[in-house]
Amino acid sequence: MDVDLDGASVLVTGGTRGIGRSIVEHFAQAGAKVAFTYRSSTDAADELVETLDEQGTEAFSLQGDVADFDIAQSHVEAVTNRWDSLDVLVNNAGITRDGLLLRLQEEDWDSVLDINLKGVFNFSKAAYRPMMRQQSGSIINISSVVGTTGNAGQTNYAASKAGIVGFSKSLAKELGSRNVTVNVVAPGYVQTDMTDELDEEARDAILEAVPLDRLADPADIAESVLFLAAPVSDYITGHVLHVNGGLSM
């Protein structure tokens, strides 16, 4: 996709693997400066920074748990201290801890809600003041088709992803007058480590339900994120962009 974000400063949570990594690479290709966070994949983070550096992209990584309020503050500050602004925040980091509610443990609920939903709150709150001061910015939150349709065995995950939608629409209303947009990308099933955990039967059932007859590639999601960060979509806020191959219409 031909998008020019030359010089824009971007922060992506969970940038070492899967969708987040593709988002980082797409912003770099568009000319942006990119910081990304991760929790434990230090080697992958170092390798990605090195690759981006070789390609002429200003980039750095930040280690820490998105569920930690203070870490989110310090990550955002690291970006604004280095680049004076934060133009785009992509809240991508997320996990699954699946199981029927009957067997789901309290810890499975807490960890998924803390990372997937509180993480979005933490980083958006940290970005609020700098973006408000700049009178510009774009926050893009990664939800899931499951947040809309529900899915047996994913009450925790679906609740976190539906929560992101309500959160984002409310924040879009708060920040609209400051020229800050807040949008959601809701992927269907994407070929990443997260879906590698699915058994063959589950994968076949998904493919049967997807009119476009394939899982998404991380790039399919990254391109939608790039679109929502680009000037061409300036008048779009509070929107949920479904990128699911027609799985849910």
Q: Which residues are catalytic?
A: 157
Residue 79 or residue 93: which is nearer to ligand NAP going by CB?
93
Contacting residue, 130, 137, 163, 187, with ligand NAP by CB under 6 A: 187
CA gap 145, 186 in Å, rounded: 5
Residue 28 or residue 190: which is nearer to ligand NAP going by CB?
190
| Residues within window 30-49 making contact with ligand NAP, judged by CB under 6 A | 37-41
| Residues within window 69-108 making contact with ligand NAP, judged by CB under 6 A | 92-95
CA gap 93, 40 in Å, rounded: 12
The residues, ordered by sequence, that sit 6+ positions from 79 with a Cβ below 8 Å of its Cβ are: 9, 11, 35, 86
Q: Which stretch binds ligand NAP (CB under 6 A): 3-11, 129-137, 185-193, 225-233?
A: 185-193
142 makes contact with ligand NAP (CB under 6 A): yes
Residue 41 or residue 134: which is nearer to ligand NAP going by CB?
41
Closest approach of ligand NAP to the CB of residue 225, in Å: 10
Closest approach of ligand NAP to the CB of residue 135, in Å: 29
Closest approach of ligand NAP to the CB of residue 141, in Å: 9
65 makes contact with ligand NAP (CB under 6 A): yes
What are the distances in angstroms from CA 119 to CA 7, 72, 194, 198?
A: 26, 8, 18, 25
Residue 97 or residue 178: which is nearer to ligand NAP going by CB?
97
Residue 6 or residue 201: which is nearer to ligand NAP going by CB?
201
Contacting residue, 11, 18, 52, 156, with ligand NAP by CB under 6 A: 18
Closest approach of ligand NAP to the CB of residue 235, in Å: 26
Other C-beta atoms closer than 10 Å to the C-beta of 241 total 18
From residue 154 to residue 173, what is the string marking binding to ligand NAP with x (rule CB under 6 A)? --------------------
Residue 150 or residue 176: which is nearer to ligand NAP going by CB?
150
Which residues of the shown chain bind ligand NAP in the complex (CB under 6 A)? 13-20, 37-41, 65-67, 92-95, 115, 142, 144, 187, 189-190, 192-195
